[in-house]
Amino acid sequence: MNMNNLANLLNKPYQTSIKKFLHQILEERYGKHENIIERVSDSISSAKDYEAFSKLMLDVYEKAFMSAVNQHKEVIEAHGFKTKIVKPEAEKKDSSPKIFKS
């Protein structure tokens, strides 16, 4: 890492996290949005802004996911099947060693 990159990281600590977060979501589509992601991530300079931006992105992601789920539900029900979308139950924590499980 050169000194310029290190200085940028210290001055804008949230930029790398935002880029990584969006890259994980967008995957191969990240490249076509890189310029706007760069500009948006440059403007996030405080922990409060970072948290607010993260919540915004998660809300957008969740809303899009639920929209897709509901669209699939409508298609399935149009074919005469009943559906019920439920949240998965949290896995129960089991501290016993796995070797003794049957």
Asked if the structure places residue 12 within a domain, the reply is yes
Asked if the structure places residue 89 within a domain, the reply is no
* pTM strictly above 0.75: no
State the DSSP string of 64-95: HHHHHHHHHHHHHHHTT------PPPPPPP--
Residue range of the domain that includes 24: 3-82
Asked if the structure places residue 45 within a domain, the reply is yes
What type of residue is 54? S
Q: What is the mean pLDDT of residues 38-48?
A: 89
Is 41 buried (19+), middle (13-18) or exposed (0-12) by CB count in 10 A?
Answer: buried
Asked if the structure places residue 78 within a domain, the reply is yes
Asked if the structure places residue 93 within a domain, the reply is no
What is the model's pLDDT at position 45? 84
What is the model's pLDDT at position 98? 57
Asked if the structure places residue 53 within a domain, the reply is yes
DSSP letter assigned to residue 102: -
pLDDT one-digit tens code per residue, 24-38: 989 999 999 999 999
Asked if the structure places residue 41 within a domain, the reply is yes
Whether residue 11 is predicted with pLDDT greater than 90 in this model: the reply is: no
Asked if the structure places residue 97 within a domain, the reply is no
